[in-house]
Amino acid sequence: MWTSLEPAAITVDPGSVASVRLRVRNTGDTVEEYRLRPAGAAAGWTRVEPDVLRLYPGAEGTAQVEFSPPRTSDSAAGPTPFGIRVEPAEHPEIRDVVEGQITVGPFTELRCELVPLAVRGRWRAKAAVAVDNLGNQPLTVSLSGRENGDALTVEPEPTSVQAAPGRAAFAKLGIRPGTVSWVGGTSKHPFTLSVQRAGAPEPTELRGTYIQPSVLPRWVMALCSLLLVAALAFVALWFKAAPTVLTSAKEKPAPAGSKLPQEGKKPDPAASPSDKPSEKPPPAPPPPPPPEEKKPEEEGPKQQTIRSNINGGWYLQANGGSQVDGTQIGQNPQWTGDQFGRNQWWIIHHYPEDNTVALESASAPGSVAQLKPNTNEVELWTADPEQLKSGRLPPHQKWRLADAADGRTRIINMRNQECLTDVQNDKGALSTGCAEGPWDRQDWKIADGQ
């Protein structure tokens, strides 16, 4: 057979479509059927139409190869090699791969978020800023705080961050008031954080509020004033109220011939029987408390699967079924069953006290899904058994399930309040800022196991 790709190199922008023509000629002496399949890194967004050519000896056929890279970070900017696999049905030993090159144009999309929007503190407060790179090329941004006169000092640390495509970068924000409010209630001070992307003419501004309560609340001052007034009034009354008792009563002389009672003589108890105290019956004992009703024991957590809502659903899994701390949690488009020791099954522990859950891997009992410290990567880590049972896990090991309608659920981490996002690879899952409205990458379907 003879093959040709016209042209062999092409350029396409993310979100648009470009195509090339593939020519195949049957140089043999028998009727042959050629199957055409895309290969390489661009195979996920490459389509061949038609994908089968049936040619007589000496005949030539053409197929259209269309490229439609998505406007996401999955389609990296720059040149990417691609290939079209040509497989003859009658003579598979002469199969060939026609190679070409496609250059994906760059695009930039930045999303910034201030967490939280309102901070509170008497002396100082801390916040954080998350910079999500939704484009397909690395970004460098600089951070600067705009101070509200002398009322606040806003200091980002660090002052510039870099974010790879599809990843997020974080910076801390220190806020310090200019003066301390000792008395006077609560004051609110607005502040602004400027996020300047390299090459952009205008910065992105994030607005927040610093709430500064006074050191001594008003009710404490009012209570102290009332106590002081009451103390002064009591002292004044104590010294002024010294009563003097005057009486005009005089001692009456005893009649002649009467005897005075002798001192120390005890009175006859029989003379006044009515003076004896009456005996009261003992109080009745309190009724016994009613027996406590036994609550039905709750059933233990079930094994469930967690599947995303994009491209037919990718299963959340512990990569390789490993039980070692630090194992990355990724996604897989296929159901593996027991291939890696139930690595796609999860035990969801519910804690009704704060409406949170813990995701325990069935292939690694006692290990839960957590955010890797100082990153937004999701990994597997052994949890404290008592904390796993009581729900007193650290925030980066706890999640919250939010209803996204139509049987879909969003899984939000309690440390950074970001949603678990399907990046459609088996290397590692990430948490990114929750999108407004439905988004198949952040919507998951949870199904009961067996």
SS3 58: coil
Q: Where are the domains of the chain?
A: 2-104, 110-213, 303-448
The gap between the terminal CA atoms of the chain, to the nearest Å, is 52
How many Cα atoms sit within 13 Å of 183 on the Cβ side?
A: 5
CATH entry 3.40.630.30 includes domain 110-213 = no
Which helix H or strand E contains 218, and what residues bound it? helix 218-240
Tell me if domain 2-104 and domain 110-213 are identical in fold: yes
Cα gap 444→399, rounded to integer Å: 14
- The rounded average pLDDT for each run of 10 residues, N- to C-terminus, in the chain (450 residues) is 92 93 93 93 92 93 94 88 93 91 90 88 86 89 76 84 90 82 75 85 85 74 83 87 56 51 48 48 59 47 83 81 85 76 86 93 90 90 92 92 89 93 78 86 79
For the segment 388-433, what is each residue's pLDDT rounded down to a tens digit?
899 999 999 999 999 888 888 999 999 999 999 888 776 778 888 8
CATH of region 303-448: 2.80.10.50
Note the pLDDT of residue 275: 47
Rg of the chain over CA atoms, in angstroms? 40
For the segment 271-303, what is each residue's pLDDT rounded down to a tens digit?
444 444 445 555 666 666 555 444 444 445 678
Pairing state of beta strands 399-403 and 204-213? unpaired
DSSP secondary structure string for all residues of 159-206: SEEEE-TT-EEEEEEEEEESS---BSSEEEEEEEEEEEETT-SS-EEE
The CATH classification of domain 2-104, taken from the options 3.60.110.10, 2.60.40.10, 1.10.10.60, 3.40.50.300? 2.60.40.10
Note the pLDDT of residue 249: 52
